[in-house]
Amino acid sequence: MKIFITGGTGNIGQYVTKALLAAGHSLVLLTRTPDRIPAYKALDNLTVVKGNILDLDIMDKALQGCDAVVHIALGWGNTPVEMLDHDTRVTAFLADAAERAGVKNFIYTSSTAAMGPLRNGMDETALLMPGDLYGATKASTEMYLLGFNQYYGGQGVYAEKVKMRRNVIRPGYTFSNPAYEGGATQSDVRFKKIAMAILKNEDVSFSRYDGTQFLSSGQIAELYVKLVESDRNKETFLALGKKFVSWVDIANMALELVPASTSKVIDSSEGVRKEISYYNASKMERVFGLSFEGDEELRSHVAWNVERARAELNGEAVYNAYHVW
């Protein structure tokens, strides 16, 4: 299968790229920075196209002849109109261009933010109640994509039906060591700050209730491969780990890696009792047999951050792995 992919150098996209190539597919990858991951130049079945997701003509041309579109790139803006323009409008254009080009399958990367604040047990059927512009944009883009069932031939007059399958993946907190040299990690710097503090013998403080169901980018990539190869249509999949892990747990992982540190990990919630809320991400297990806890991947990521922090404190050059819009 020939697949057009956006965001293929980012936190999630680099692993999706790697997994799709390993599954035998050929890729056309759109990126603003073709030189960011030098290894891409030597990979078979990978064509890199320089462009931004706002370059609509470039995307339209690049996806011609493709069987599927995997849209991962984040569109960002600081105002309601910018958010709408950079994500919803881009995705609506891309879906229309893909349908007209005969693409058979379209996957959009949304976010749990589309559902708003976590209500215990919420799954793909939860009411969308976004709490900020980012979540609202993701929710509106989902609606545009899933409602794209036919064209109009005039006001209130239905025309051609859409043949392309359209599905949505809603990641939660997804983290990664770079899959290739020059690849990205998540934009959140808490892992780095914890590593720095432990190496500098500084105490760190978190609430034991501050955490989430972490999922590695390598794990979520398995869901993208399963979905792009399936005949599912108009479905949404939450993508999170099964296990709740707190930032206290993560700080203790870092402390175990630096036994000489005199840092203390302080649980600021000492004496507080409350229930931990969970997303119900069991659909990807029911449909595709995918279920992840992620302890090993988290420890690897903590270790990667500790080594980078140690190198930085020693005055060594450390490349910027925090790719942003």
For 147-187, write each residue's pLDDT tens digit: 999 999 999 899 999 999 999 999 999 999 999 988 899 99
Closest CA to 70 of 238, 285, 229: 229
Tokens of 318: 């450390």
pLDDT given at position 294? 75
Picking from 304, 322, 290, 311, the residue whose alpha carbon sits closest to that of residue 253 is 304
Report residue 77's pLDDT band, with 50, 70 and 90 as the boundaries. Answer: very high
pLDDT band at 325 (very low <50, low <70, confident <90, very high): low
Question: Which domains can be identified in the chain, with CATH numbers?
Answer: 2-172+217-239 (3.40.50.720)
How far is residue 191 from each of residues 172, 180, 275, measured CA to CA in Å? 16, 19, 25
pLDDT in tens, 97-107: 999 999 999 99
Q: Which amino acid is at 140?
A: S
Judge if pTM exceeds 0.85: yes
Least confident of 70-74, 154-158, 250-254, 272-276: 272-276
The bridge status of strand 174-175 relative to strand 245-246 is: unpaired
Weakest-pLDDT range from 81-95, 124-138, 199-213, 259-273:
259-273
- CA–CA gap between residue 210 and residue 265 (Å, rounded): 14
pLDDT higher than threshold 90 for residue 203? yes
Q: Mean pLDDT, to the nearest integer, of 67-80? A: 96
Upper half-sphere CA count for residue 223 (Cβ side, 13 Å): 33
| Residue percentage of the chain with pLDDT more than 70 | 99
Average pLDDT of 229-253?
A: 97
pLDDT band at 7 (very low <50, low <70, confident <90, very high): very high
DSSP code at position 195: H
CA distance 86 to 309: 34
DSSP 74: P
pLDDT band of residue 6 (cuts 50, 70, 90) is: very high
Assign 295 a pLDDT band (cuts: 50, 70, 90). Answer: confident
In the prediction, which pLDDT does 55 show? 96
Span 43-53, pLDDT tens digits: 999 999 999 99
